[in-house]
Amino acid sequence: MAISMPFFPLRNPFSRVLPPSCLQSRIRVRSGLVMRSSHGESVRENARIEGRESNGLELLYDGGYGTHSVIDYLDAATEMIRPDGGPPRWFCPVSCGRPMNGSPLLLFLPGDPIKMGMASVDSGLSPLETLDQLSRNLFSLVPRLVGGFADILPKETLTWKLGQLKSAASYANSHLHAVKAEVLVLASGKDNMLPSRHEAERLWNTLQNCKVRYFKDHGHALLLEDGIHLLSVIKGTNMYRRSRRYDSLSDYLPPTITELKVGNEKNRWFNLGTSPVMFSTLKDGKIVRSLAGIPNEGPVILVGYHMLMGLELAPLSEAFLREKNVLVRGIAHPIIFSEKAESPLQEMFPLDFTKLFGALPVSASNIYRLLSSRSFVLLYPGGAREALHWKVCPFISLGEEYMLFWPDQPEFVRMAAQFGATIVPFGAVGEDDMLQLVLDYNEQMSIPFMRDSIKESNKGITRLRTDVKGEIGNQDLHTPWIVPKIPGRLYYLFGKPIKTRERMEEMRDKEKANAVYLQIKTEIESMISYLKKKREEDPYRGILQRAIYHALCGSNHQVPTFEP
């Protein structure tokens, strides 16, 4: 039987290129198991890779995206795809770096040439330059594709494959309902060869455990197109794991430099429109425009106020990565990680990016494990009730901007003291300059069809704070109706760090821990008041002034603000 197309076993994000002559001696396949030879691998290389695995991946590592082109792949595979009378083999003609311990196996079958050519086009070119580079890429692909196509897919093989495909499709469709394995479906919105979107919806409704990620602006050869980051898709859907259940700590891989660039690009207009300003407080109480007042090492708990719809999250996470090279692990509502958040046309942004950048379900055990690993933890005691604002009075536009809704439970203070963690309170303002609340929870519950929708969407979700009475404990999830305003500016102020290491014994007392808890809440309210007052002195608070500054100095320059 002729070999159809080479499979691509990708074992880990780290890989290195080997010449074709080395590949067949490096990878052998028996009974479907990939076995790797250590021939030619130096002791130094072994030690380097093993050290990296034992210490974990560094933050913002190079995930390998864009390292090699399709032309590199085809050149390396030319001599390996010719039929020789033997059985089918799996091999990797481009990269075969040593896998991480316990990493799963990925097999990838490449195809469509136009998008393959686009994957090698540099970004930022003018339309004429893009067309010229695409033409040259396609011209270089043609002899490689045409020259070896008869070897890759002879007529007899094609006829046999079509017959097998028809038979297999009929068999698979009749058994889909019985499949219990977890399935990830990637669907294209502009697939001109197959009805990818409708097929994804059908599979999502038929399979018992199916996730779909929909790429509306991409075509048939999805995995070969520019802008598709398969590593990110696998990580964002929690498919990269070492056991049946995903572990938020041991299975988590930090974001790559490519994922940071993509996230920044997704948030580009929001960041330009809001020009976030970060202040922190030094040991002597001085306020500076930077994150210099925040410790460089954990464990640290950042405790703050939740803006409407969590608007403060992305700039905060980005600032810590940029200024301190620190990943902040956000504690999020379990709904983000549940099947309730899935849909048949689910796109990657923003929920998957929330997971990529460290979010994990809120629970005492998760906070405990994060602190024990000396992480930076982002905690909002106000939770969903604080982020999903209500109106102060019905039928008026005034909402609950900058109001804290904290339960009377100082548990995070006592847990921080148990690990000697540093607590950094912070306040943030600016939501009232960006969004206007139209229909809140109470108003939606007074409308029958909206009430029914909220009740249905809250069935079966994990309930938090069931032991807390009143509206803080009754946190029905809903989507407030909002309208955008002309965007103002976001301001953050991180207070003076509270070290618990010296007060570990003191914090064991519940009353003393509660006093610290109330102190933190009061400080956050004071910081919010400070920012609301000081922003009036900012000559660049308005978007017009900031737009002029960007036009004169460039979008990469930090826009000035008030003197703290």
Most confident of 8-12, 47-51, 127-131, 552-556: 552-556
Residue pLDDT, tens place only, 370-387:
999 999 999 999 988 899
- Distance CA(120)–CA(118), nearest Å, equals 5
Our CA angle for 42, 43, 45, nearest 5°, is 65
Whether 30 shows a pLDDT value over 60: the answer reads no
Report pLDDT for 135: 66
Report pLDDT for 19: 32
Report pLDDT for 335: 87
Sign, CA dihedral 425-316-232-188, equals positive
Whether 523 shows a pLDDT value over 90: the answer reads yes
Peptide bond before 350: cis, by omega within 30 degrees of 0?
yes
Strand 300-304 to strand 376-379: parallel, antiparallel, or no bridges (unpaired)? parallel
Sign, CA dihedral 328-332-336-338, equals positive
On whether the CB atoms of residues 412 and 301 are closer than 8 A, the answer is: yes
Least confident stretch, 7-11, 202-206, 273-277, 297-301: 7-11
Report pLDDT for 44: 33
Report pLDDT for 311: 92
Report pLDDT for 160: 78
Residue pLDDT, tens place only, 385-422:
899 988 877 666 667 889 999 988 888 999 999 999 99
Please tell me the number of Cα atoms within 13 Å of 319 on its side-chain side: 23
pTM: 0.78
Peptide bond before 299: cis, by omega within 30 degrees of 0?
yes
The residue ranges of DSSP E strands in 45-101, in sequence order, are none
Residue pLDDT, tens place only, 449-508:
999 999 988 887 777 776 676 667 767 888 899 999 998 999 999 999 999 988 888 888
- Distance CA(89)–CA(29), nearest Å, equals 7
- Distance CA(262)–CA(229), nearest Å, equals 10
Mean pLDDT of 264-274: 92
Residue pLDDT, tens place only, 532-552:
999 999 999 999 999 999 999
Residue 316 banded pLDDT, cuts 50, 70, 90:
very high
Give the closest residue to 429 by CA, choosing from 490, 485, 482. 490
